[in-house]
């Protein structure tokens, strides 16, 4: 099992999830504008070889388009709020799973991601990405076990 540093694991995981499931590309190291109240932020707690939480925040425009791309909806605007939230929940879960699979060989369990206020839960090691029409930010915070590093 190749263990990689957390920032690299986040960057690789975001690129992999967006490319394979959302047919989208990202550019790392661009700050996401989280000041808008309609940005969507979700966190998922993980337990297993490590304990902690991953938070994903997506700007409203990008969230709408990602949901449409994920579900094959031609008009991004026609994806309703609940659908967009559900898809960003899946994005959060997949990014979390992809990061943990790069960090540990032990199995893990994920909770159901609740929706946060924007900026809430953004603790630990964070990386931001430019999606062209908005931004995405991922933060990983360990809360226990020997996996906590960097």
In the chain, where does DSSP find H-type helix? 6-21, 60-71, 81-103
Among 9, 10, 17, 139, binds other proteins (CB under 8 A): 17
From the list 17-25, 51-59, 132-140, 141-149, the region that binds other proteins by CB under 8 A is: 17-25
Among 4, 60, 110, 126, binds other proteins (CB under 8 A): 110
User: Could you give the CA distance from residue 69 to residue 63 in angstroms, rounded to a whole number?
Assistant: 10
89: nearest Cα among 110, 115, 65, 71: 115
CB 129, CB 38: distance < 8 Å: no
Among 39, 41, 59, 93, binds other proteins (CB under 8 A): 93
Q: Which helix (H) or strand (E) holds 133?
A: none
Of the pair 35, 109, the CB lying nearest other proteins is at 109
**Contact positions toward other proteins, by CB under 8 A?**
1, 16-17, 19-21, 67, 70-72, 83, 86-87, 89-90, 93-94, 96-98, 100-101, 104-110, 112
């Amino acid at each position: 099992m190749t263990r990689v540093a957390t920032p690299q694991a986040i960057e690789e995981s975001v690129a992999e999830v967006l490319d394979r499931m959302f047919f989208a590309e990202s550019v790392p190291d661009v700050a996401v504008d989280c000041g808008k109240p309609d940005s969507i932020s979700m966190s998922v707690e993980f337990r297993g070889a490590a304990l902690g939480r991953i938070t994903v925040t997506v700007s409203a425009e990008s969230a709408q388009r990602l949901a449409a791309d994920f579900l094959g909806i031609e008009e991004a605007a026609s994806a309703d709020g609940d659908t967009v939230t559900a898809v960003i929940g899946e994005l959060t879960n997949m990014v979390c799973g992809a990061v943990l699979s790069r960090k540990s060989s032990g199995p893990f369990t994920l909770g159901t991601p609740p929706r946060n206020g924007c900026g809430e839960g953004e603790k630990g090691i964070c990386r931001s990405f430019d999606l062209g029409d908005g931004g995405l930010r991922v933060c990983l915070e360990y809360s226990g076990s020997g996996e906590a590093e960097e």
